Every structure is written in structure tokens, then in C-alpha cells.
Amino acid sequence: QTNKTSKYQVGSGNVETVSKRLKERLRVCVATCNRADYSKLAPIMFGIKSHPEIFDLEVVVLGSHLIDDYGNTFRMIEQDEFDIGSKLHTIVRGEDEAAMVESVGLALVKLPDVLQRLAPDILLVHGDRFDALALATAAALMNIRILHLEGGEVSGTIDDSIRHAISKLAHYHAVCTRSAERHLISMCEDHSHILLAGCPSYDKLLSAHQRDDYTDIIKSWLGDDVKEQDYIVALQHPVTTDIKNSIKIYELMLDALISFNKRTLVLFPNIDAGSKEMVRVMRRKGIEQHPNFRAVKHVPFDQFIQLVAHAGCMIGNSSCGVREAGAFGTPVINLGTRQTGRETGENVLHVRDADTHNKIYHALELQFGKRYPCSKIYGDGNAVQRILKFMQSIDLSEPLQKKFCFPPVKECISQDIDHILETQSALAVDLGGTNLRVAIVSMKGKVVKKYVQLNPKTFEERIELILTMCKQAMADAVHLNCRILGVGVSTGGRVNPQDGIVLHSTKLINEWSSVDIRTPLSSALHLPVWVDNDGNCAALAERKFGHGKGMENFVTIITGTGIGGGIIQHNELIHGSTFCAAELGHIVVSLEGPECMCGSHGCIEAYSSGLALQREAKRLHDEDLLLVEGMTVNNKEQVNAIHLINAAHLGNSKAESVLHTAGTALGLGIVNILHMINPSLVILSGVLAAHYENPVRQVISQRALLSAQGTKVMVSELEDPALLGAASMVLDYTTRRTY
């Protein structure tokens, strides 16, 4: 049957032998190491067996198939009526990494004689197990062509390294997904030697998971009282690169399952280092005797399909969860890092940092009993047909030397439990003239927690206090389950938001000009920082959370201690060439008006701000013209704008006149804005907004051009526009990135 070449030249042969083989059947050796890879190889083996005129099948069994502790699963191969040509006992018993290395060495000692005797044209190797690495190494050194199944995929643990190493040894590849194909191409594999086939196991499960007897299978494994979608399948393997943590996760999973109180089928872990310790954990917790659990070493694949397809949930780190289960829409909880990077359907919820019993329990609450759309990421049911055709196309006279190329590869994206359980949030800082406020603000605009302190007078004290308050908020955010994405700062004055610098401050905030806020905050907090004027922040708050949501063009006017605002044009905030745009409080409405804090005369702020109203209230009070019946002012109480407003409401004509002038001045300024930029909405914000709403509307109806008179005027419903606007800078920019 074999030529007489050197032991290590089996696959090459002389020209006469190669020519002869081209006319003969293709000798295909399928080597299977464990129950998992057999489920992928069996459909191909059946396909090969069904074409005896084309293929000659040889079967080699090694690894955990031949170990009693793992169910002696070679028997299911015999039950499928395959002739096993060679059984190789290659597992060195042990519970550490050294045992795996010794097992690879033992396989390498035994395999050459078998491969020399069988002299296959092609060796089929599946996946990422250490046994498969021994197979690929031996075949590559003996010049036997290797067809690798499921290469190019990405997951966690040492399996990744082994899978990619086998891919480099293999000559041909049958991959399951387009992404895996791209990964192999980026690893320099010849594109013409890569087949996008899909997963062979999908050929069986897509057609078989609707068996009529699935209820009998469920009862036989879980009990007569168990109903469809009311049980859990658990399958957790050790992570050989982090055995200690994987055992901890296994223990937490079992604790969560015990607490969840649902009937659960627990399969024993695979043979990797750490598996014995995991079994000890299972027995220490009494899982095998627990009434809610059924612990088994092996389930035949056709029955396992039914159990997974009709489960209320699957949990663990088996590739079956992130691959096959998606074909049924079964909800899956993937624990730890073993499958990190695998392409998954929306049915998979990742708990990568499975560090608490509660987190796993919460994931069970979220997933159990759900049904998802069926996913065909890993196959459409025609993989075997493609693979058989691909093998027939292999030119055995072609040299084994590989070709190389270097295209890019796109990474996959999936959901994560931490992003579900944590609230994406921002730290918002508002530098007012009196108070310094810091808040944790959620993505939906909820102020989760707020901190208020008097604003210090000096620069050094102010920066120190901001950092102290932010650090406190960040510490609290952990306990509040908030993930802080960045810091947004709202401050008075003219701001360069590109560099995070306050160029010129208002007189209300001393020592706050030419100040770089971004650098000290970002350096100390290790977070991105955004800074802008408080008026602009108010406009941003309205755009994200308020009346401006969905509006393309609008203006926000802040009526508080001063008058400010922001302009949104074509969905973007207008800053101006020197960051002086939207200084709306300094629109001049009178040539002979009162002096403004900016040094000019007749500005809106000089008429309509809280400070202007306070000035007029003091003047009237000094002239004994403020108080009317029903009003009192304590000697220790400072007269302010509220007293003026109350007096006007009680019929004080002098106070009414002041408010009328203030409202008219604000209305005239807004008319100028309407004529300049023609927004579709004006939003009045701040403590005085409600008092100015009607006067502004009246002035617009009297003074604006006809085409602008229909502009809507609304009072903001936001409680903290400065904080919300500061937060929106963070939330808008950081969440543009894809997780």
C-alpha cells in the first residue's frame, strides 16, 4: 500500500506513485481526539463514507476518547459504524500543564508509525486542542497534506495559540465564518487554499433539532417533571492560562445555579489541566446528589443538540454555547475569557469578569427563558458538501510550499454584561459665581448624585477642590454602578473648547482667565475632559435632553445672574472664529442704556439679568418705593430680584415698569437673533425664564418680521442645564466609539 520512501517523506513520494494515486481514490485520514471535535468531524466522515468510489476513509482515535473518566467516547464512533484503524493512548494522567505537554510528546512518539502505515493523501485535523497540535506537527514533518477545520477563529486561553499554530502547519483550511477567512488571510495563508464552508455540525443540527422525540430526551436526562425551556445546560472547561481563576468562576457558577433553583444538566469539564480540581469543586458542593442537578460525563451529540435547542438557557464557556446554540436561538451566558473574540449571535451574553455570584445570577435572570432569532453565523447546513468538493479539487502534485499575503482583518463586536449592568455616565462640573457643583449624570440625563461646595476665590484652591470633588464622585460611582466615561466642565466667560482653556472669565469668577482646565483634570483623573461656556452647555443640554432634541436650528437663552446662551445651527454648536459667538447677553438694545459689566451700555444683560433686576430692586427700596402691602424685608436680608418680582405681582407699578422694560429689552435682543440666524425655536432657560416668556412673545409679535413671528418660544424644563450640558459633551463624544 505504501511506497518505500523515507519514514519522513510519506506524503511526497516519487512521480510514478503520485500519478498512480491521482487515478485512485483519495485516501483521507480523519483523526479525532475528543467528543467535541468528533461532533464536527462526524458529518464529514459520513459524507466521505457515502462516496466509496471517490474516497478511502481511515479513522484514528486518540486523546480523551479512550479514557473512562471522560466516558470512553470512542464507543460512539463504533456505534456510528466507523472502522477505527488505530487507537492511540496518548494522554498522560495529571492535573497540571506539564501533563498536557507530556501528552503531546507521547502522541508525537506514537503517530509517525501510524501515519507511515496509513499513508494518507490528506489528514483532517479539527480545532485547537493540544492533541490536534501533535497531529498537525507529525503530519507536517512527514509531508502529509493537512486540511484544518475551524481555523482563523479567535477565542481566549492557550487554545488561540494552538489553533493558529495548527493553521500555520496546515496546507488547506475549511473555515466557518467570513471573519475567520479574513483572519487566515491576514495570517499570510493562501486565499486559494481557504474554503468558507460553514461548521459541519450545523449540517446535522439545522435539520435534526426539530425531532419529535425531544421531550423524551429531556426527560431521560433531566427527569420526568422537567418541561421544555425550563432547565439549564451547564458546560464549563478550565482555562489553562489561568487555571486558578477558571476554578473560581466554576465555583461561582455552581453557586449561582444552586441559588437560581432550576433543574440543570452539568457536563463534566474536558481533560485540560485544572479539570480534576473543577470536578472536586463540583463534588464538594454535592452537585451529583443535589435534586436540581444531573451531572454526566457525556451526552451523545444528537441528543445533546435536543437538550441545547430546548433549554431555557445554556451557561459556561463551551464553544457550543457561542456557536451551535445560536442556531436554535437558545439564550447563552458565556463566562470568563475562554471564548473572547468569538463571533456570536445576539443570544450570547458575556460575563467576562465573572467575579461575583450576584453578577452570574443576574445574568441568569436576564437570559433564562428568553428566545432569540436563530443565527446562521457558523453555517447554513451545506458545509460537508462543500468540504468534500474542496478535497476532490486538491492537486496532489502541487508543491506543499505556502504563499503569503498581508490584508487587513476586522475584529468582531459583541455585547457584554458589564455594559448592561453598569450605567454609562459622565462627571459634570459647573463653575458658578457662588457655588462649585459636580454631578454624576447618566446617559439618559439623570443626575445620579450631586456635590455642592462654595466656589473658592483663588485659582489653586479652585482646581484642588474640583479634583477632590471629582475623585469623590468617581469613588462613589463604583458603588452606584456607574461607568464614568469622561469629565465635562461648564464655566462662565469665553472658552476655547478645542484646547480646554478659559480665555476670559466673568467678573463673578476671579483668577479664572487664560486657565488650562483640561490638562490638570485629565492628568489627575486619567479621563478625557471637555470644557465649554455655560451658555453653550445649556444649548447642548437642550439638544440632548430638552426641547431642542431633534431640532436642527434653535437658540437657548439663559436668564440668571447674567444673560448668556448658545446657538445650534444644522445640529452643531456655533463657537465663532474667536469663540465669542452666542454672547447673547451683550447684544445692545439701547444707545443710552445702563452700564453693563462688560463695560458697554445698553446690553440686554444690563436690563434683564438677575444682577440688573437686583440693582433696580435696591434703588426702589432705597427710595421706599419697593414694598407694598403684604411684603416685608428683613434688615439682615439682601434685597434681590425676587423681591422686585413679588412686588410687581402684588401690584407695585414701579416694579411692574422695571420688569416690563427688562422683558422688552430681552424681547428686542431675541428679535435681533431671529433676524440674524432665523432659528425655528427659542428656549428660555434659567430662574427668570418663566417671568420673561410672555413679554418676549409679545415683543416678537410686535417687532419681528412677519416670517419670523411664528418662531416658537418655550421655557426649559431642565433643572440643571449647565450640569446636563457639561455631561452631554462627554456622553455625545465618547459614545460615538463602538464598543
Enumerate the known binding-site residues for Zn(2+): 586, 596, 598, 603
| CA 196/CA 177 separation, integer angstroms | 7
Closest CA relative to residue 627, chosen from 646, 608, 607: 646
Residue 267's beta-bridge partner residues? Answer: 235, 296
| CA 316/CA 306 separation, integer angstroms | 18
Contacting residues for 500 by C-beta, under 8 A, at least 6 apart: 489, 516, 517, 518, 519, 529, 530, 531
Q: Which helix (H) or strand (E) holds 421?
A: helix 417-421
The C-alpha cell at 483 is 461607568
Q: Which helix (H) or strand (E) holds 160?
A: helix 157-169
Binding residues: 586, 596, 598, 603
- Among 37, 203, 534, 720, the one annotated catalytic: 534
| CA 700/CA 570 separation, integer angstroms | 23
| CA 468/CA 487 separation, integer angstroms | 14
| CA 679/CA 372 separation, integer angstroms | 45
Q: Which helix (H) or strand (E) holds 489?
A: strand 482-491
- The answer to whether 29 and 115 have CB atoms below 8 angstroms apart is yes
- Terminal CA-to-CA distance of the chain, rounded, Å? 57
The radius of gyration of the chain from alpha carbons, rounded to an integer in Å, stands at 37
Closest CA relative to residue 391, chosen from 146, 95, 68: 146
Q: Which helix (H) or strand (E) holds 338?
A: none
| CA 224/CA 261 separation, integer angstroms | 17
Can 113 be counted among the known catalytic residues? no
Residue located via cell numbers 434683564: 608
The C-alpha cell at 134 is 501533535
* Catalytically active residues, by annotation: 534
